[in-house]
C-alpha cells in the first residue's frame, strides 16, 4: 500500500518504485549471501550501502561506485542496494570482488508469523518515541527510537506491526497532540507542525513503515561500512553499526538533505505530509553525520552543510571525484559551426528548461548555433522530457535543439560541442564537468555545489536559473575561438593537477583503515 490521493500523486517516483530505475532492471532477484567471502590478502570486507544508484541504474554516482570497486580490487564489496522494487539484473557489469543484495522498500511484504503481544507492544512503544522525536525535532530521541527499532527488527519484520491500525491511530493522535501544543507557542522563529488530517496521518504511517524496512534486514558481516550517500543508504550503515558494530564512513556527492528540500519545494504535497517527511530526512541525515567515523564530502561546499547539520569538523575529509585522463584525452578539432553540448540525465534538477530558454537567446546573436542534448530519461521523468520538448517547439527552435539520448561512447558527446553546458540547480561534483574539461572543452556551468571548485578559472560560472547569464556566457564563448582554446587548455591542466582517478582512489584506500581506527587518519 502506498500513500493515496494528493500525496501519492505528487511524490517523486522513488517513493513508490525507483526514481532512477531503468526498464531493463525490473522483475525479481535472488538475495546473495549476507557475509561476503574473504577479501584478497590484506584486503577488507566492505559493506557498501547505496540508494537508487549502483548497480541498478546509470548516472554519476554509479560511475563513481564502479570506479571505486574496480580500483580497490584488493577489497571485497558487499553492496546493500536500497531499491524501490526488486530489479531483475543490474544495469552495470559487476566485477568479481562485488556481491549484491537488494533491500526493496516497496515490494509486497513477505508473510511471517503473527507477532506476540509483547513484541507488538515493544515495537509500538519505539514507534511512538520516533513520532515524538519527529514532532519535536529531537535528534537524541530520534536516534534512541531508531536504534530500538533496529534491535526489534532482528527478531522478525517490523512490517507486521507498523502496517496495522494501531500504528495508524497512534500516528494521528501523537501528531495531533504535538500540533495543538505547538499552535499555542508564539516563540518567534519556532517551527510549528500543521494539524494533520486523517489522510495525512495514514500516508505518513504507510511511508514510515516502508522507510523503516531496512531495519528488519540482517546486516552484512563486514570489517567496515561505506554509505555512498546520506538518507536510506546511511540508515543501512547505522543499522550495521548498531547490530554488528561495523564502523562506517559516509560519502556525499550532493547534499542529500538539500536535494530533498529542492524536490519538495514545488511538490503538491499536503503541508503536514511534507513537514513530517522532511523532519525524518533532517534527523536521519544529522544522525548519520554524528555516527560516521569519517564524513567524506565531494566538495568543500558540501562540508559547510555537513558541519551545520552536526558533523564533527575533525572527522570531515574532502575528497574530489577523479577521472582517468587517458580515457578522456584532448578532443581535437572542434566541430564545424557553433555547437553547445549538454551531457546528463533528463531530470528537473538538471534544469534543462533554463538551458533551452537561454539557447533561444543565443540564436538571436548566433543564428547558426545548435544545442545537442546527450543523456537518458530515468523512469518517472518522461513528463519532464515532454515538457522540455514542448518548450523547444514553443520557442521555435526546431531541429536546432536535438535530444540524442544515451551514447555508447560518452567522449563523442563532448567532442560534439565547442562548449559544454551545465545548468543544474543542484550538484555534487559532477563528472560531466571534469570529463569535458579533461578533453579540453570549456564549460559554462552554474554556481551550485562543488561546480565552482571544479571549474576554477578554466570556464565561465553563472548563477542557477539565470537565463540571461547562461545566454551571455554561451554567446561569448561561441564567438571567441582564442578564448575557447585558452580555457580548454587550462581546463585539462586543472584536471591533471587535481582531479585524477588515481588520487581519488588513494584517498579512499587510506580512508577505510582510518574508519576502522575510529576516524583517526
185 pLDDT band, cuts 50/70/90, is confident
pLDDT at 8: 52
Burial of residue 290 (number of CB atoms within 10 Å: 0-12, 13-18, 19+): middle
pLDDT at 112: 73
Distance CA 120, CA 157 (A): 11
CB-based contact 413:340 (threshold 8 Å):
no
The answer to which of 92-101, 104-113, 242-251 has the lowest mean pLDDT is: 104-113
In the chain, which segments carry CATH 3.40.50.2000?
A: 5-110+211-315, 339-499
- Tell me what the pLDDT averaged over the chain comes to: 91
Q: What 3-state class would DSSP assign to 283?
A: helix
Q: Which pLDDT tens digit goes with each residue over 459-504?
A: 999 999 999 999 999 999 999 999 999 999 999 999 999 999 999 9
CB-based contact 283:136 (threshold 8 Å):
no
Write out the three cell numbers for 264: 519538495
Distance CA 98, CA 54 (A): 11
pLDDT at 192: 87
Q: Which pLDDT tens digit goes with each residue over 271-304?
A: 999 999 999 999 999 999 999 999 999 999 999 9
pLDDT at 224: 98
39 pLDDT band, cuts 50/70/90, is low
194 pLDDT band, cuts 50/70/90, is very high
169-173 long-range Cβ contacts below 8 angstroms, 24+ apart: 170/124, 170/127, 170/128, 170/131, 171/131, 171/201, 171/202, 171/204, 171/205, 171/208, 172/196, 172/198, 172/201, 172/202
Distance CA 230, CA 250 (A): 7
Distance CA 165, CA 242 (A): 29
- pLDDT > 60? residue 25: no
DSSP state letters, 41-82: TT--EEEEEEES-TTTS-SHHHHHHHHHHHHTTTSEEEEEEE
- pLDDT > 90? residue 311: yes
24 pLDDT band, cuts 50/70/90, is very low
pLDDT at 13: 37
pLDDT at 38: 63
pLDDT at 58: 83
- pLDDT > 50? residue 455: yes
Contacts of 108 (CB under 8 A, 6+ apart): none
pLDDT at 443: 99
- pLDDT > 90? residue 27: no
pLDDT at 519: 66
- What would be the CATH architecture of the domain defined by 5-110+211-315? 3-Layer(aba) Sandwich (3.40)
CB-based contact 73:206 (threshold 8 Å):
no
- pLDDT > 80? residue 16: no
pLDDT at 41: 67
Cα torsion angle, 210, 216, 220, 223, sign: positive
402-408 long-range Cβ contacts below 8 angstroms, 24+ apart: 402/370, 402/371, 402/372, 402/373, 403/346, 403/373, 404/372, 404/373, 404/374, 405/374, 405/375, 405/376, 406/58, 406/374, 406/375, 406/376, 407/374
Q: Which pLDDT tens digit goes with each residue over 166-180?
A: 999 999 999 999 999
Q: Which pLDDT tens digit goes with each residue over 333-369?
A: 999 999 999 999 999 999 999 999 999 999 999 999 9
Report H helices in 395-500. 410-415, 431-438, 451-455, 467-479, 481-498
Cα torsion angle, 221, 224, 226, 227, sign: positive
The answer to which of 247-251, 254-258, 509-513 has the lowest mean pLDDT is: 254-258
Write out the three cell numbers for 248: 562506517
- pLDDT > 70? residue 31: no
Q: What 3-state class would DSSP assign to 251?
A: strand
Per the listing, cell 508469523 goes with: 113
Nearest to 102 by CA among 120, 92, 89, 119: 89
Q: Which pLDDT tens digit goes with each residue over 60-85?
A: 899 999 999 999 999 999 999 999 99
Taking residues 414-426, report their average pLDDT: 97
267 pLDDT band, cuts 50/70/90, is confident
Q: Which pLDDT tens digit goes with each residue over 97-139?
A: 999 999 999 998 877 777 888 999 999 999 999 999 999 999 9
Q: Which pLDDT tens digit goes with each residue over 496-507?
A: 999 999 999 999
23 pLDDT band, cuts 50/70/90, is very low
pLDDT at 29: 35
Q: Which pLDDT tens digit goes with each residue over 387-406?
A: 999 999 999 999 999 999 99
Distance CA 101, CA 78 (A): 8
Distance CA 445, CA 430 (A): 11
> What is the CATH number that goes with domain 339-499?
3.40.50.2000
pLDDT at 88: 73
Q: Which pLDDT tens digit goes with each residue over 366-383?
A: 999 999 999 999 888 999
pLDDT at 7: 62
Write out the three cell numbers for 145: 527510537
pLDDT at 87: 81
pLDDT at 89: 81
3 pLDDT band, cuts 50/70/90, is low
Amino acid at each position: 500500500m502506498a500513500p493515496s490521493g494528493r500525496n501519492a500523486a505528487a511524490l517523486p517516483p522513488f517513493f513508490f518504485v525507483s526514481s532512477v530505475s531503468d526498464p531493463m532492471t525490473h522483475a525479481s532477484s535472488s538475495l546473495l549471501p549476507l557475509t561476503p567471502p574473504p577479501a584478497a590478502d590484506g584486503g577488507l570486507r566492505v559493506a557498501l550501502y547505496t540508494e537508487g544508484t549502483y548497480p541498478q541504474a546509470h548516472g554519476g554516482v554509479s560511475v563513481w561506485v564502479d570506479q571505486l570497486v574496480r580500483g580497490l580490487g584488493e577489497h571485497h564489496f558487499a553492496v546493500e542496494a536500497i531499491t524501490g522494487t526488486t530489479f531483475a539484473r543490474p544495469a552495470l557489469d559487476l566485477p568479481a570482488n562485488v556481491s549484491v543484495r537488494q533491500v526493496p522498500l516497496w515490494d509486497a511484504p513477505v508473510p511471517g508469523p503473527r507477532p506476540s503481544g509483547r513484541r507488538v507492544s515493544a515495537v509500538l512503544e519505539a514507534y511512538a518515541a520516533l513520532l515524538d522525536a519527529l514532532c519535536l525535532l529531537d535528534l537524541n530521541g530520534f536516534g534512541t527510537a531508531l536504534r530500538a527499532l533496529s534491535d526489534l527488527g532482528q527478531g522478525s519484520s517490523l512490517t507486521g506491526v507498523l502496517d496495522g491500525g494501531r500504528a495508524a491511530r497512534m500516528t494521528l493522535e501523537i501528531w495531533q497532540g504535538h500540533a495543538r501544543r505547538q499552535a499555542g507557542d508564539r516563540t518567534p522563529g519556532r517551527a510549528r507542525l500543521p494539524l494533520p488530517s486523517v489522510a495525512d496521518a495514514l500516508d505518513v504511517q504507510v511511508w514510515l513503515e516502508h522507510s523503516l524496512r531496512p531495519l528488519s534486514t540482517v546486516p552484512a558481516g563486514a570489517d567496515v561500512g561505506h554509505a555512498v550517500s546520506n538518507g536510506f543508504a546511511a540508515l543501512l550503515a547505522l543499522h550495521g553499526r548498531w547490530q554488528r558494530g561495523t564502523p562506517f564512513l559516509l560519502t556525499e556527492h550532493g547534499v542529500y538533505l538539500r536535494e530533498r528540500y529542492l524536490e519538495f519545494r514545488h511538490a503538491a504535497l499536503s503541508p503536514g505530509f511534507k513537514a513530517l517527511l522532511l523532519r525524518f530526512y533532517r534527523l536521519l541525515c544529522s544522525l548519520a553525520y554524528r555516527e560516521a567515523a569519517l564524513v567524506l564530502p565531494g566538495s568543500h561546499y558540501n562540508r559547510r552543510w555537513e558541519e551545520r547539520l552536526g558533523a564533527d569538523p575533525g572527522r570531515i575529509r574532502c575528497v574530489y571525484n577523479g577521472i582517468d585522463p587517458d580515457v578522456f584525452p584532448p578532443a581535437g578539432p572542434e566541430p564545424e559551426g557553433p555547437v553547445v553540448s549538454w551531457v546528463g540525465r533528463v531530470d528537473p534538477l538538471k534544469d534543462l528548461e533554463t538551458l533551452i530558454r537561454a539557447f533561444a537567446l543565443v540564436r538571436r546573436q548566433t543564428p547558426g548555433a545548435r544545442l545537442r542534448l546527450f543523456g537518458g530519461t530515468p523512469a518517472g521523468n518522461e513528463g519532464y522530457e515532454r515538457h522540455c520538448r514542448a518548450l523547444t517547439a514553443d520557442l521555435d527552435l526546431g531541429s536546432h535543439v536535438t535530444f540524442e539520448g544515451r551514447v555508447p561512447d560518452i567522449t563523442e558527446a563532448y567532442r560534439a560541442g565547442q562548449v559544454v553546458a551545465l545548468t543544474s540547480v543542484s550538484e555534487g561534483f559532477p563528472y560531466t564537468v571534469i570529463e569535458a574539461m579533461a578533453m579540453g572543452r570549456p564549460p559554462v556551468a552554474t554556481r551550485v555545489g562543488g561546480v565552482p571548485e571544479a571549474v576554477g578559472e578554466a570556464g565561465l560560472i553563472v548563477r542557477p536559473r539565470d537565463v540571461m547569464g547562461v545566454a551571455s556566457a554561451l554567446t561569448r564563448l561561441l564567438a571567441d575561438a582564442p578564448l575557447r582554446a585558452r580555457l580548454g587548455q587550462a581546463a585539462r591542466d586543472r584536471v591533471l593537477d587535481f582531479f585524477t582517478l588515481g588520487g581519488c582512489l588513494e584517498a579512499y584506500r587510506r580512508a577505510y583503515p582510518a574508519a576502522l581506527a575510529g576516524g583517526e587518519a
